[in-house]
Amino acid sequence: MSYINKTLIFDQDKIYYEKNNQKLEVMMDWEDNLMSASAAYVCSNGGDILEVGFGMGISAEYIQSHNINSHTIIENHPQILPKAKQWAKDKPNVTIVEGDWYEVKDTLSMYDGLFFDTYNDPNLKHFSSSLFPLVKKGGLITWWNSLSEEKNYFNIPNVTYQQFSVNPPQNSYFNSTTYYLPQCQL
């Protein structure tokens, strides 16, 4: 069963689901400073921002704190979508796009910044080949980096990393004390 079909549990500090009596976290609030830094990077030139994956809305809130023209969010989980739509209600520069990012990418515009943070994404392998039609020349991109090293599994050229010391609680997706925030200008 894919992640999209999982019943999510929303706690104050995390989103998770259960499988075989084990909690599998999707997102947790310890990521707050990483979401802030990701938003600051992709918004540093202003303009139009694309965010793939809403999650707990942490990065979305930070993106909105910057001087941007528009903020497009793609979300596909049926339990997270209503939360994203409710969050966006009073934000006239936000557009929520429902669906899988890879399936809707050809309906989108071009953006000045892109933040990509999906979970258990079957289309992750298409991320790097999909960037150029979505991001303007000079645009800034970053993504959730689940690796605990400066390694670019997308083979995107000219990526640098900003290093952060983190102290995540034990979880199912990231347990290193160093996070490498990827940064790339196309």
Span 78-108, pLDDT tens digits: 999 999 999 999 999 999 999 999 999 999 9
The 8-class DSSP code of residue 169 comes to: P
Q: Which residues contact 5 (CB under 8 A, 6 or more apart)?
A: none
Please give the residue that has the higher pLDDT: either 151 or 73.
Answer: 73
Please give the mean pLDDT across all residues of the chain: 95
Structure tokens at 120: 């258990």
* Sheet strands side by side (includes 9-10): 9-10, 14-19, 22-28
Residue 153 has pLDDT above 90, yes or no: no
Specify the pLDDT at position 1: 55
- pTM > 0.75: yes
Residue 142 has pLDDT above 90, yes or no: yes
Is residue 181's pLDDT more than 80?
Answer: yes
Position 104 scores a pLDDT of 97
pLDDT exceeds 90 at position 3: no
Q: Which residues, 6 or more positions from 151, have their beta carbon under 8 angstroms from its beta carbon?
A: none
pLDDT for 2 equals 81
Query: Using one digit for the tens of pLDDT, what is the confidence trace for 19-72?
Result: 999 999 999 999 999 999 999 999 999 999 999 999 999 999 999 999 999 999
